[in-house]
């Protein structure tokens, strides 16, 4: 049910209605979010590990938020 968090095909279904997945390998971070109500998707792939680089994580967060407004 949309009122409860759930897992489907190992992708989290969030209370906000988005479905997404993140992951990475050494030197790579990738994120995908689908907003089915709006018919939008966000994808961001970076050649860096965000956990090890606070400045990169901050920049990524700003870009990710900007993409949500488009």
Mean pLDDT by 10 residues, the chain (70 residues): 58 79 85 88 86 85 87
DSSP 47: S
Residue 6: predicted pLDDT: 59
The Cβ of residue 39 has, within 10 Å, a number of other Cβ atoms equal to: 7
| Burial of residue 60 (number of CB atoms within 10 Å: 0-12, 13-18, 19+) | middle
Residue 62: predicted pLDDT: 93
pTM for this model (two decimals): 0.66
């Amino acid at each position: 049910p949309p009122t409860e968090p759930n897992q489907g095909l190992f992708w989290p279904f969030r209370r906000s209605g988005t479905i997404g997945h993140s992951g990475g390998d050494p030197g790579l971070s990738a994120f995908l979010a689908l907003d089915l109500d709006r018919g939008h998707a966000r994808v961001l792939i970076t050649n860096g590990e965000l956990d090890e680089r606070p400045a990169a994580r901050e920049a990524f967060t700003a870009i990710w938020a900007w993409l949500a407004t488009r």
